[in-house]
Amino acid sequence: MTKIQQLQKQIKNSFTKEQLEENNVPKEEISYLLKYKIFPIDLLVRADWNYKTDDEVKSQKLRNNIKRIGQVENIQVRKLETGYYEVINGNHRLDNLIELGKAFVVAYDHGNISLSEAKRIAIETNETRFESDHLKLAELFSDIKLDFDIPDLVDTMPFDEIEIENFQNLLDFNWEQPNETDKPNSSNSEQYKIIEFKVPEETYNSWLKLQDRMLNILGYDNEAKVFEFAVIEALNIPEESLKV
């Protein structure tokens, strides 16, 4: 028996047809569910056409994530003529599972599909993603920060400490228009005026990014200086460039 045959013999279904039938799973769904299998990791190979870029920082976060909760997202594969299985979706997961010394992985077996079909599935499953509601995401961060330290969250999430703090700033921001009675009457207000207005969430997120950039690069340490810089730069744009 060859090495590949030995590895193939270790492939096991995640559940049997009998188990699914006992649970009254509709027949049309059973054929799909039976494609979820446990594979020996040595039988899987990386797709040389994978279009996702490598990022060691994100890879480390992914490894930390897997160490914390295990492999909760399955990998998708197709069978090659060599007998090995090519990873259609989950190449970075495969890399990091190998790095962690895992011997088996859960994968969805698409079988003997063509390369073209594999590439289509890769794009469909990689790119069909919904946009985040950043305000709701900020609320989630506010909740979980009660139980988890920020450095702990940074270890397993695709955000750094500044980005997580910015979500808190999003909640702290006053989205309501101020009343006239709320504005200061001190003589200092003659020199410094208060500007408050509503902006779309996307604009606010861009504003936070600009603040971070100005602080890190130029040392601008408050919002007033950053806003002044942005206004001056905008005024320096020739009027001809602004005409449609």
- CATH of residue 66's domain is 3.90.1530.10
Q: Which domain-ending residue is among 97, 127, 157? A: 127
> Same domain for 106 and 197?
no
Final residue of a domain: which of 76, 104, 127? 127
Burial class (CB in 10 A: 0-12, 13-18, 19+), 97: buried
pLDDT at 241: 67
Examine the domain organization and report whether 41 and 114 are in the same domain: yes
CA distance 78 to 8: 13
Domain boundary pick from 127, 154, 173: 127
The reply to whether 151 and 122 lie within a common domain is no
- Whole-angstrom distance, CA of residue 202 vs CA of residue 196: 17
100/194 same-domain check: no
Residuewise pLDDT in 10s, the chain (244 residues):
899 999 999 999 999 999 999 999 998 899 999 999 999 999 999 999 999 999 999 999 999 999 999 998 889 999 999 999 999 999 999 999 999 999 999 999 999 999 999 999 999 999 998 888 888 888 999 999 889 999 999 999 998 888 888 887 777 766 555 555 444 554 454 566 777 777 777 888 888 888 887 776 666 667 777 888 788 778 778 776 666 5
SS3 (DSSP) at 12: strand
Residues 159 and 195 in one domain: yes
Could you tell me if 19 and 119 lie in one domain? yes
Residue 123 and residue 139 in one domain: no
Range of the domain at 121: 3-127
Does residue 17 sit in the same domain as residue 60? yes
Sequence-separated (6 or more) residues with CB below 8 Å from residue 82: 4
pLDDT of residue 216: 66
**Secondary structure (3-state) at 40:** strand
State whether 143 and 83 are in the same domain: no
Task: Clarify whether residues 89 and 140 are in a common domain.
Answer: no
The answer to pTM > 0.75 is no
Token pair in block for residue 114: 């063509």
- Are 103 and 174 in a shared domain? no
Look at the chain and report how many structural domains it folds into: 2
